[in-house]
Amino acid sequence: MADSNYSALTEAVYYILLSLYTPLHGYGIIQYVEEISNGRVVLAPGTLYGALSTLQEKELIKPVNTESNSRKKEYLITKIGKQVIKEEIDRLEELIENGKKTLEGELK
């Protein structure tokens, strides 16, 4: 993900990463994302599973050892993941700023 400067995160990935600032398992992620997006983003299990595998491969998230004997795997965002989120927020701010300026007639 060294080229994160050049590409945007998908909405699903952005929200998955945000949800993992505290450890969560699959179903927990779906619930959290649905909640903070006011029900707008509902991740489907197949999509989430694929995203979690890829994010793990790219080391943006990592599995955490859960204390109990629960079989449910929990994940946490990594340092690289947090960096990616920071850069993404900067990118989004630029988009919003330019959008607003255009609407206000400052840009053409």
Partner 1 sequence: MRIIKRKVFFAWDFEKEEEWLNEMSKKGLQLVSVGFCKYIFEKNENIRYTYKVELLDNLPGHYKSQDYIEFLEEMDIEHIGSYIRWVYLRKDVSKGEIELFSDYSSKINHYKKVLFLILAITPLMFFNTINLYNSYTRSESYLMLIFFGLFLILFTLMGVGVLKLYKTIKELKEESSIWE
- Nearer to partner 1 (CB atom), residue 21 or residue 49: 49
50 binds partner 1 (CB under 8 A): yes
Instruction: Give the helix/strand (H/E) hosting 76.
Output: strand 74-77
Calculate the CA 51 to chain-centre distance. 10
Select the residue interacting with partner 1 from 1, 26, 62, 83 (CB under 8 A): 26
72 binds partner 1 (CB under 8 A): yes
16 binds partner 1 (CB under 8 A): no
From the list 7-15, 55-63, 82-90, 93-101, the region that binds partner 1 by CB under 8 A is 7-15
98 binds partner 1 (CB under 8 A): no
Q: What does each C-alpha distance from 27 to 30, 54, 63 come to in angstroms?
A: 5, 18, 15
- Nearer to partner 1 (CB atom), residue 72 or residue 101: 72
Q: Are strands 74-77 and 24-25 parallel, antiparallel or unpaired?
A: antiparallel
And the tokens for 36?
Answer: 């903070």
Closest CA to 92 of 36, 11, 12, 37: 11
Contact positions vs partner 1 (CB under 8 A): 10-12, 25-27, 30, 42-50, 71-72
